Amino acid sequence: MGKAEDDIEAELRAAGEAPDEDLDLASLALALARLDRPSEPLAPYQDHLAELVNAARAALGSADPSRAENTAIVSGALSGVLAGEFGYRGDEMNYDDLRNANLMYVIDRRRGLPVTLGILYLHVGRLLGLDICGLNFPGHFVLRLQTGASASIIDPFNRGETLSPADLLRLIRDIEGPGATLSPDVYASVTSREILLRLQNNILSRAIRLGELDHARLVVTRMIWLAPRRAGLHFELGRIEVHAGRMAAAATAFEICRSMASDDGEMRIAGMAEEALRRLRSKLN
């Protein structure tokens, strides 16, 4: 690993120890992107993020957007800048292209996944002082923008269009089946850390599906840097090591998971790790 990669690892590990509210979402997404493009300079991408903020500020005018009575005006300005002026939209033709999960490539191509595009909307909105957050919606990342008593759900993948409850119901049924309902959980906000983990999980799931175990190990390791106390990530690392035939490394990951989960009262995960260790020992004996 070169100096640039070492510096990025240190940045991500520091973020893993920092409170959620202190995380700079877009900067950390760029750091993750740069791990796969270490020779690419960051400055042009940082400049572009500033350009997006300035363009959105100009579009909204001199009034304080956080005090707007109608979120449709504010969300329309955001989508007008990001999707209209700068051409950001979802990559419907090549959804599984890994470049869609790398914020550098997303900025280069103006195409991405819901979560990478959502990071851009969140970055712009938060720097403008807006009450905007990502939601715990399964399978398709969406945003909630609130101004006063008015709220809008924004779909960053589909050019920032606003979604009605009926739209959301159709969307969740497309993802989870015709019996799915809109429970309160899907409207729960998620932290910047959870968004970054969701971004990396897109890459991890593709690597596992394709049997790219070295890549999967690399990605889950990065996720552990960002969230070192997530016992489930250590369990996932153990599973990957088992499939790669690295039994000693798998045992270490499962032991960390068991200890961490027990300390945090996550007894289901602790039990899963204990069972994984039992099976591992039976294979080794």
Model confidence pLDDT, tens digit, residues 209-218 = 999 999 999 9
Whole-Å CA distances, 255 to 120, 164, 245: 38, 46, 17
- Tokens for 79? 């989508």
Mind listing the pLDDT tens digit for each residue in 161-173?
Answer: 999 999 999 999 9
> What integer is the mean pLDDT of 155-183?
94
Mind listing the pLDDT tens digit for each residue in 197-252?
Answer: 999 999 999 999 999 999 999 999 999 999 999 999 999 999 999 999 999 999 99
Instruction: Kindly report the pTM of this predicted structure.
Output: 0.94
Strands lying side by side in the sheet with 143-147: 161-163, 150-155, 143-147, 131-135, 189-190
> What integer is the mean pLDDT of 254-282?
95
> What integer is the mean pLDDT of 252-265?
97
Among candidate residues 162, 161, 157, the one with its CA nearest the CA of residue 88? 157
Q: Is 243 helix (H, G, I), strand (E, B) or coil?
A: helix
- Where does the pLDDT of residue 284 fall: very low under 50, low under 70, confident under 90, or very high at 90 and above? confident
